[in-house]
Amino acid sequence: MPKTILLNPGPVNIRESVRNALLKEDICHREEEFTLLLRSIRAKLLEVYNLDPKKYKVIILAGSGTAAIEASICSLVTQNKKFLVITNGVYGERMVEIARVYSIPTIKLSYEYGKRINIIEVEDILKKEALSMVAVVHHETTTGILNPLEEIGTLLKEYPGKFFMVDGISSFGGEVLDFEGWGIGVLVGTANKCLQSVPGCSFVVARQDILEQARREINPRSVYLNLLNYYHYQEEGTFPFTPPIQIMYALNQALDELLKEGIERRIERYRRLASMVRERAKGINLKTFLDGSLSSNILTSFHLPEGISYAYLHDVLKEKGFVIYAGQSGLSNKIFRIANMGEISESDIERLFEAIGEII
Ligand X SMILES: *Cc1c(COP(=O)(O)O)cnc(C)c1O
Residues forming contacts to ligand X in the complex (CB under 6 A) are 9-10, 64-66, 91, 137, 141, 167, 169-170, 190
Considering beta carbons, is residue 273 or 356 the nearer one to ligand X? 273
Strand partners, 110: 87
Q: In this structure, what are the phi and psi dihedrals at residue 164, rounded to the nearest 5 degrees?
A: -110, 115
Considering beta carbons, is residue 197 or 356 the nearer one to ligand X? 197
Strand partners, 203: 60, 189
Q: What is the smallest separation between the CB atom of 191 and ligand X, expressed in angstroms?
A: 9
Residue type, 222: S
Q: What is the smallest separation between the CB atom of 91 and ligand X, expressed in angstroms?
A: 4
**What are the angstrom distances between the C-alpha of 273 and each of 37, 196, 337?**
32, 15, 14
Considering beta carbons, is residue 167 or 175 the nearer one to ligand X? 167
Q: What is the smallest separation between the CB atom of 198 and ligand X, expressed in angstroms?
A: 12
Task: Estimate the share of the chain in helix, then strand, then coil, as percent rounded to the nearest 5.
Answer: 40, 20, 40
- Beta-carbon count within 10 A of 149 CB: 26
Considering beta carbons, is residue 13 or 66 the nearer one to ligand X? 66
Could you give the CA distance from residue 349 to residue 122 in angstroms, rounded to a whole number? Answer: 38
Q: What is the smallest separation between the CB atom of 59 and ligand X, expressed in angstroms?
A: 16
Considering beta carbons, is residue 250 or 356 the nearer one to ligand X? 250
Q: Which helix (H) or strand (E) holds 16?
A: helix 16-21
Q: In this structure, what are the phi and psi dihedrals at residue 338, rounded to the nearest 5 degrees?
A: -125, 115
Could you give the CA distance from residue 165 to residue 74 in angstroms, rounded to a whole number? Answer: 13
Which residues have a Cβ under 8 Å from the Cβ of 158 and sit 6 or more positions away?
none
Strands 335-339 and 325-326 come out as antiparallel
Could you give the CA distance from residue 358 to residue 140 in angstroms, rounded to a whole number? Answer: 30
Spatial CA neighbour of 156 closest among 133, 129, 140: 133
Q: What is the smallest separation between the CB atom of 144 and ligand X, expressed in angstroms?
A: 10
Considering beta carbons, is residue 200 or 243 the nearer one to ligand X? 200
Considering beta carbons, is residue 297 or 353 the nearer one to ligand X? 297
Q: In this structure, what are the phi and psi dihedrals at residue 201, rounded to the nearest 5 degrees?
A: -140, 150
Residue type, 161: G
Considering beta carbons, is residue 34 or 175 the nearer one to ligand X? 175
Q: What is the smallest separation between the CB atom of 153 and ligand X, expressed in angstroms?
A: 17
Q: What is the smallest separation between the CB atom of 190 and ligand X, expressed in angstroms?
A: 6
Considering beta carbons, is residue 10 or 148 the nearer one to ligand X? 10
Q: Which helix (H) or strand (E) holds 198?
A: none
Q: What is the smallest separation between the CB atom of 54 and ligand X, expressed in angstroms?
A: 28
Report the alpha-carbon angle 10-278-325, nearest 5.
Answer: 30
Strand partners, 186: 165, 206
Considering beta carbons, is residue 167 or 348 the nearer one to ligand X? 167
Q: What is the smallest separation between the CB atom of 66 and ligand X, expressed in angstroms?
A: 3
Per the CB < 8 A criterion, the answer to whether 221 and 98 are in contact is: no
Per the CB < 8 A criterion, the answer to whether 4 and 323 are in contact is: yes
Q: What is the smallest separation between the CB atom of 328 and ligand X, expressed in angstroms?
A: 10
